[in-house]
Structure 1
Amino acid sequence: MSDKEGEKKRDEKTFWGQLKDPTSAVLISIMSFAITLPIVVSLYPVIPPIRIGFFDGARIDFLLTSLVCFVLFYVLIKKFSKFFIYAFSLGLVGLAASSFLGKYSFVDLYYDYSAIYFSYTEDFREFTFNEKNASAEYNQRIINAVDYRNERVKNAANAMAVANFQEYKGSFPSLKILQCFSIFKEVRNKWNYVYDPKGDEYYSKTSVTLLQLQDDNKFKGDCDDYSILIAGLFTAVGGEVRLVRTVVETKTRTIGHLYPELLIGNVKDLEKISYFIKNELFVMESMDKPIYYYQDLEGNIWLNMDYNDYYPGGKYQSYVRKAVITINPQ
């Protein structure tokens, strides 16, 4: 063996030996953290929420998973340093290749981690509702008014779906929900409240309300017309929508109200989608405001899409749920 080869062997032995030395704790910690981060981000969506019995039921599933993974990788790297350095390098190259091919990228990893961190710092508001089983007298008329199969409705929904947020379609959790958010933005920015005739409940079809844009590029109507319009447009692009009948108490009287809500997935989906709402899509509209949602008995999360605010998940006008009208049940 030549002197150069011997020197190279000694250097290599010294490097791997250092990793097993107690003084290498900082280096091993950095490597453990670098491996832990993407692993935990990928595992997080399938880990059930874990809450503790104090600090208002604080969530610990992410912290607990991170701690377990970090300790595990620390021990394994110290014991099998060569293998894990090679594995880490291979994983880094794989992620780079995935980014190059337009699949999961470093940007996606950043968004995933940011969404998890956001979920531990942001204020979510699951409303406590007074739910009733009263049947709504005009449910079928409302369902008939949501004519999402109409050609005019489908064409308008397609156009509104791609009017906003196109730069996020590769990183947002669901393209379908992203397009519904784009539709919401288009409708909400053009919506103007106009009362129905006194003593009469008029339901404008989705296709008819769309015709108003030809007059002055504005939508007009009451809460029923708004909800029917949103339901028709969302459903036309594959969104799952329900319309909720409620009552709103004022200082002088009780007013009937109808609002739409959009199915966005489970609690983990809520966390990531809320991150995008607050930090990317509706930053100014949602500033210093919480995300409001409803969780049904199956654990599905429904986001409030009412017109009382300019972002998905705005505050509910009432805690009463008198009846729920499902549009195009899946």
Structure 2
Amino acid sequence: MLNDTIANAERELYLTLLTLAQEKPSAYEWLKQLPTWLGDIKDKANYAHAPAYQASVARLPNLTVNSVDLNSDTLTIEANLSESQRKQTTALLKQLMPWRKGPFQIGGQIGDDESGIKIDTEWHSDWKWQRVAPHLGTLKGRRVLDVGGGSGYHGWRMAGAGADTVIIIDPSCLFYHQFMAIRHFVGTADAHETGRYRTHYIPVPLEALPASSDQGSQLFDTVFSMGVLYHRQSPFEHLQQLKGQLVKGGELVLETLVIEGDTNTVLVPHDRYAQMNNVYFLPSVAALIGWLEKAGFTDVRCVDVAVTSTEEQRKTEWMTYHSLADFLDSNDATKTVEGYPAPMRATIIAKK
């Protein structure tokens, strides 16, 4: 028997935007484009694997869920899981590999990997959240946009921190269906008192979102962009697009690759960086702060700088391709295979 998880999630998204539009009419622009956005991601002509991903989500079994913890480092769905359900669920979730952002656990209890399914993702995304969360303004009651949110791990954590509405955007067909797989098991655990879901996913890039220049028409109190800026050919355009989604006084959380240096230091990789061919600009922290100020942000501050370790990003049973250890110089882990400084990430918080 197939479930209707994706249809339910998309209906909830429509209802959320419809409710929001009564307060913020600019949300009607989102509603106009939503049928195209949601249709395109499931179109085999656009994404050859889309039908297979949909089928994997639709075949996930309905479990008796005892509790869901959206505020745990491992997002845990405590549920009764028979051996046949465990095998079926594991096989279906592995059809949605590679799993890059997490971790998640389905079945069993927190800390009990034996009786549940632990999706040990490539990234320890919980480590990033631990670095970011202490520096945030409150998320309670706020509308949040998570740009480039991957499978949705951080979006669920934002809901767990009390956000009123979280909209995750990412154009990946795979990540969209990974989110829907987790949504299937989370169910109504993130719902308002009204029964409406708080956490949603729109499979589009930031530049596809309607931009509103009218003051007061923006939709979001907090905007996250984590691990996106260095993939943009025009960093200032990305910063302006982020600012365009924020209400006045809203908070931007920007996490990106940086290098050591002064206000004039920016690395532009000649070809690849850590084997990624879509990395364009790696500024120093000082240069990045200057960029944000030039883009019109205020109260700009760096709250964390961390070198990415091979414990935080690594190959796992759920992501079997090359990972960070393969992208570093085998004789000098402080350098990438191309000879650039090894990945270091900074988190900047700023106000509009």
Q: TM-score range by the shorter chain?
A: under 0.3
Higher relative contact order (CA 8 A, sep 6+): 1
Quick check: which one's strand share is greater? 2
TM-score normalized by the length of structure 1: 0.25
Quick check: which one's helix share is greater? 1
TM-score normalized by the length of structure 2: 0.24
